[in-house]
């Protein structure tokens, strides 16, 4: 990766099922310059369209073992559904903000 961001430790996110938008928030990440991890970044958000993000995946790491966190998603106790987060690294185009 010539220039990009490696985001880790995601702690929340949302997806708009009607519009296809998404937003993911990560506690930690790194700036990538010329294939090397540089500055540590905190409070990152990744936004974009789910289908664009998925269609722009150009690489998937071969990490065999990774952590999966279990959680719940919903707007109220009647809407909650089980969800999970975790997995291998993906390389895709996205808009990243810090703040």
Q: How confident is the model at residue 34 (pLDDT cuts 50, 70, 90)?
A: very high
Our separate counts of H helices and E strands in the chain read 1, 8
Name the strand (E) or helix (H) holding 54.
helix 50-55
pTM equals 0.70
User: What pLDDT does 97 receive?
Assistant: 59
Query: Is the model's pLDDT at 4 over the cut of 70?
Result: yes
Q: What is the DSSP letter of 75?
A: S
Region 32-58: what's the mean pLDDT? Answer: 89
For the chain, report the end-to-end CA distance as a whole number of angstroms: 23
Who wins on pLDDT, 58 or 98? 58
């Amino acid at each position: 990766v010539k220039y990009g961001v490696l985001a880790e430790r995601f702690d929340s996110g949302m997806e708009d099922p009607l519009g296809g938008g998404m937003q993911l928030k990560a506690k930690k990440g790194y700036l990538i310059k010329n294939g090397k991890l540089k500055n540590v970044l905190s409070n990152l958000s990744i936004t974009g369209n789910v289908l664009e993000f998925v269609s722009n995946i150009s690489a998937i790491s071969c990490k065999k073992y990774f952590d999966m966190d279990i959680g719940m998603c919903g707007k109220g106790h009647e809407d909650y559904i089980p969800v999970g987060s975790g997995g291998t690294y993906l390389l895709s185009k996205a808009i990243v903000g810090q703040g």
